[in-house]
Structures are given as structure tokens and as C-alpha cells.
Amino acid sequence: MTYSTITGLGFYVPQNVVTNSDLTQYMETSDQWIQERTGIKQRRYFTYGKETNASMATAASRMALDRANLQPSEVDLIVFATITPDYFFPGSAFLMQRELGLEGIGVIDIRNQCSGFVYALSIADQFIKTDMYKTILVVGSEIQSSWIDKSTEGRNVAVIFGDGAGAAVVQATNDPEHRILSTHLHADGRYAEDLFVKEPGSSRPGRAATKEMIDEGGFDVVMNGNAVFKHAVVRFSEVINESLDANGFKTDDISLLVPHQANIRISEYVRQQMGLAETQVVNNIHKYGNTTAASIPIALTEAYDEGRIKPGDLICLAAFGSGFTWASALIRW
């Protein structure tokens, strides 16, 4: 039986640190409001001409490959999650493939918003378990800072999001003791418009992108923060429990929960609801904000680097986001 396992992790965040106080130059907000409501102290913004979505993903991937002791040429497939690609199409997976010099191998671009990385990991897991590929690069990368409206009108969204990238090398193994145990994917399109960017869209009477759309705010991120919050706290717990039930484990068995970094209050609510200790949950939202598909691989890499993940540990990844989507992965490290 072939299983899949994570053999290398990496991340990249832009050097440009934007503090809560920095944001007060553009909008009416305060460090206190942002910290109290979200737990965020600062985030990173990319620098035009220096970083792109694909270049950040490439840097994260190179780090993950180095740590797996692999050359890029050993990668069989790239699965790339982002909602902020460099081009409308083709996706950033193509650009990253080019930067890594991997012309010819298959690439899959997926969206799935904040759950994108877990969806990507699940796809990699299936391809490996069916013996189609042996080594897959799974990436989440986002540049949110160029999408958000940094005026007071957009402040409820703008203060949350940041830029960054994370990557994992997923490889085939025959070892049943150290592997991805299961992944669980969900979505509910009834809530699509509770967190979305409407334009550019194909189903329009005229062109897919017009000046009027920009003027009417169609390119801005629209978020019903309260609805997202309420669904998130329910779905996070549900999908974590689903992964435990599927493998015959209890909450106590979790060594480390790596939740999507949406809001410290969401993570804290879920932690308390599940009866987990603070040391069992990874939080780094204070440093990077919400980096959507990149948040889990960044948090996972940092946790690994801090020595919080040891062989044999039971690691749970869990996400919730726009769509709505929610997903989990249970890993025996």
C-alpha cells in the first residue's frame, strides 16, 4: 500500500512589514481595535518589482525542497492554491513551474480560498496513493495587499489580510506509521456571496472587466464578517472532529492543531470548544494576518522550525473560508 507523507516544508513572506499603526495613515482604525478584534499586530505586503505571487511560491518551494533533500527536477506534479494569481489565466502554477525550470510536468491550479492548501494537499494525497506520482509540490501563495481597499470604507476587510507563501513536499511512502491519515473536504455554495470578489466575471452583458465595475467597487473584497465568523467556529470544530472520528482518535490525541489563521478569536473559540491547551494550537496571525491559502503551510513550517512537531505526533490541519469551504487533514508525523 502506498501512502503519502510530508518530507519538507518552507515559507516565504515579504520583508515589508506593515503594522496596525501604519494602516492608520490610510483609514480610520486603531491598533487597539485590530488587535482586540483579530489578534493581528502586523502583516507583510509585497514590494512591486521585487516579489510576485509566483516568485514567493518559488522561494517557499525551494526551501521545502532543500529540506526534503530534493532537487526541483525530482518533482512530478505541482498543486498550487491561490485566489490572487499573477494573471487571470493561466494560473501562477505555470509561472512557478517556469521559475523552477520544470517545463513539462503537470500543474494544477486550485482556488478554494482559505481552504485551498488543505484541498491541494488532499489532491496530492490521492495522486500518490494511486501510484500516479511519487513527489508532489503543494503550495499556497497570496498577494492580498493589491486587492484590498485601504480606505476607511474597506477597513473591515483590509486590516485582516496579508501576503505570503508556504509549501510542502509530499512524497510516497510505504510506512503506515508516518503518513497523511485522511483528508476531509466540504463546501456550501449557498454562502458564496458572504465573502467574495464579484468582478471580473464572465457572465456579464458586455465585457468581463469594465471601468464601471471598478468604479462600483466590483473588484473589492466584500465580506459579511459576522456570517463568516459564525459559520467558521461551527465548521472548524466539525471538520476537526470528523478527521478524528475517521481514524478512531479523540481530541486528547491531537499533538498540534494548525488552523487556518483567520482571526485569533475564531481559533481561540475553537480551541476552548474542543478543550485543547494553548500549547496544542498554532497561532501566528499576530505576525502575518490572514494569508488565505498560504496561512496553514506558513504556520506549519514555523511550528516545525520551533520544534513543536516531532515524529509520531498527531497533527491536524483545519481550514474555513470563502465559498464557504472547510476542510481538514490528519497527519501522523
Closest CB 159 distance from ligand UT7, rounded Å: 4
Binding of ligand UT7 by 38 (CB under 6 A): yes
Q: Known catalytic residue: 178? A: no
CB of 172 or CB of 282, closer to ligand UT7: 282
Binding of ligand UT7 by 33 (CB under 6 A): yes
Q: What backbone torsions phi and psi does residue 11 show, to the nearest 5 degrees? A: -150, 165
Interface characters, 249-268, with ligand UT7 (x: CB under 6 A): -------------xx-----
CB of 159 or CB of 170, closer to ligand UT7: 159
If phi > 0 it is left, if psi is from -120 to 50 it is alpha, else beta; for residue 32 that is alpha
29-to-130, 279, 309 alpha-carbon distances in Å = 51, 31, 37
CB of 32 or CB of 174, closer to ligand UT7: 32
**Residues within window 275-304 making contact with ligand UT7, judged by CB under 6 A:** 290
CB of 42 or CB of 263, closer to ligand UT7: 263
Stretch that binds ligand UT7, among 26-34, 66-74, 234-242, 243-251 (CB under 6 A): 26-34
Binding of ligand UT7 by 41 (CB under 6 A): no
Q: Known catalytic residue: 114? A: yes
Q: For the residues of 94-131, what is the DSSP string, one character each?
A: HHHHHHTT-TTSEEEEE--GGGHHHHHHHHHHHHHHTT
Binding of ligand UT7 by 226 (CB under 6 A): yes
CB of 95 or CB of 316, closer to ligand UT7: 316
Q: For the residues of 32-56, what is the DSSP string, one character each?
A: HHHHHHH---EEE---TTT--HHHH
Of the candidates 114, 231, 241, 316, the residue annotated as catalytic is 114
Do 307 and 249 form a contact (C-beta atoms < 8 A)? no
Binding of ligand UT7 by 147 (CB under 6 A): no
Q: Known catalytic residue: 184? A: no
Binding of ligand UT7 by 171 (CB under 6 A): no
Q: Candidates 228, 294, 309, 314: give the one binding ligand UT7 (CB under 6 A).
A: 228
Q: Which residues contact 204 (CB under 8 A, 6 or more apart)?
A: none
Between strands 135-142 and 77-81, the pairing is: parallel
- Cβ burial of 179 (10 Å; 0-12, 13-18, 19+) is buried
**Separation between Cα atoms, residue 190 and residue 208, nearest integer Å:** 23
**Separation between Cα atoms, residue 289 and residue 148, nearest integer Å:** 13
**Separation between Cα atoms, residue 160 and residue 141, nearest integer Å:** 16
Q: Which positions lie near ligand UT7, rule CB under 6 A? A: 29, 33-34, 37-38, 114, 155-156, 159, 225-226, 228-229, 232, 262-263, 290, 321
Active site residues: 114, 260, 290
